[in-house]
Amino acid sequence: MTIALLLTGCSSAVDGKAFREGAAPGASEAKYPRYKPPADGSGFSDQVLDQPLALPVEQSEEGCGWLESVKPDLQPLGLVSTKSSLSGCQFVFPGNKGAQVHAYHPYGWITQDSPVMEPVEIAGIKGRTYAFDPEPATFCSVNMDVRAYASIAVDAYDVTSDEAGTRAEHCELAKKVAEVLLKKFVPLAGGKPAPSTVQEPSAEALKNMDVCEVVKFTHANYAGVNAGREGAQKGEGPLGPTCTHEVPYAKAVGMYTTGTGGLEAVPPKAGAEVRNGQFGTLKARFEQTEEACALSVQLGNGQVVQVDFIGKKREAMPRTCVSAQLILSVSMLALITGEH
């Protein structure tokens, strides 16, 4: 099982240079405890989340429409063929070596035992190399934190058998494919997002939407709020409908505005530390108190989607903004793809 968590990022600069590395303002250094990611890369990111999506996030043939454009870049690796599938965008290389690309999940906090879990840096981007199955399985993956709603992951394997080849060579292939993709499609590595990549929800994304489908129980699961579908409690706030997911660990409240006045029409919490910035390509605002953090994001039509994460256990407190951002990342991906 993987639980995906991301650290709060606020920046008005899309080039990611507004804050020094490791200084994403997820918590005030003076007032609030700072999250420290584990050295092996298994934890959620401590980098700002201010970048556009690099690749389409749809799990479909349309989501792999960029494959043709990357073929010349992969020729030095001996590319044999490409294929679109629901499980990922696939490549075949000489010697029965395969690679598969996923670009539709946030950078995840991996909690399960893994025989391989190591930090990696490719084309200046931080990430991890990992594998869940012990030997004799030889599968290997890299997962790169591209500071967007969705990370880029590359799995490498032998196409004929889970136990053929060696893990070391598959890890190396995954890193090489990832380097090509990062340099071609990720702005932080000098690339440009694939032309077909949709960066924001449509203007009609929230029309007639059940708020508990916008901020869904499965989205809250990523941040450790496992209340289940039956635990989702609908309500009505002064600005729009609300959906609350609550467990002894923490409470997550999703909301969207029925009005289109943008963030200016959403009053910040009284007494909160307020930070304005970016969430992907969208205008955003964080409001943090000692026990909670609300992230509000303005959509293109002026509506606002908000996740307010309230910690109830001590271990949740350093992760309030982290958790709000993570939940809203998953919600934003669902709004973009229309999968609820």
Please provide the DSSP assignment of 276-299 as one string.
Answer: EEEETTEEEEEEE-SSEEEEEEE-
Over residues 154-165, the pLDDT tens digits come to: 999 999 999 999
Q: How many helices (H) and strands (E) does the chain have?
A: 5, 16
Same domain, residue pair 183 and 276: no
Judge whether residue 117 has pLDDT over 50.
yes
Residue ending a domain, choose from 133, 157, 189 = 189
Residue 292, domain CATH: 3.40.1000
Same domain, residue pair 128 and 215: no
Same domain, residue pair 311 and 217: yes
**pLDDT for res 30:** 58
Q: What is the pTM of this model?
A: 0.87
29 band by pLDDT with thresholds 50, 70 and 90: low
What is the domain range of residue 223? Answer: 211-337
Judge whether 48 lies within some domain.
no
Q: What contacts 56, CB < 8 A, 6 or more positions away? A: 62, 63, 64, 65, 66, 103, 194, 196, 197, 198
Same domain, residue pair 284 and 242: yes
Higher-confidence residue of 28 and 254: namely 254
Same domain, residue pair 221 and 323: yes
- Cis? peptide before 136, omega within 30° of 0: yes
62 band by pLDDT with thresholds 50, 70 and 90: confident
Distance CA 11, CA 32 (A): 19
Q: Give the residue among 327, 318, 270 at the shortest CA–CA distance from 296.
A: 327
Residue ending a domain, choose from 189, 221, 238 = 189
Judge whether residue 28 has pLDDT over 80.
no
Residue ending a domain, choose from 157, 189, 221 = 189
Over residues 73-85, the pLDDT tens digits come to: 999 999 999 999 8
Same domain, residue pair 225 and 174: no
Higher-confidence residue of 144 and 19: namely 144
Over residues 293-306, the pLDDT tens digits come to: 999 999 999 999 99
Report the Cα 333 to chain-centroid distance in Å: 9
Same domain, residue pair 236 and 272: yes
Which of these ranges, 62-66, 128-132, 229-233, 253-257, has the smallest mean pLDDT? 62-66
Report the Cα 215 to chain-centroid distance in Å: 15
Mean pLDDT, rounded, for 87-94: 93
Same domain, residue pair 163 and 238: no
Mean pLDDT, rounded, for 110-116: 86
Judge whether residue 332 has pLDDT over 70.
yes
Distance CA 317, CA 63 (A): 37
Residue with tokens 């060579």: 169
Judge whether residue 104 has pLDDT over 90.
no
For all residues of the chain together, what is the average pLDDT? Answer: 88
Q: How many domains does the chain have?
A: 2
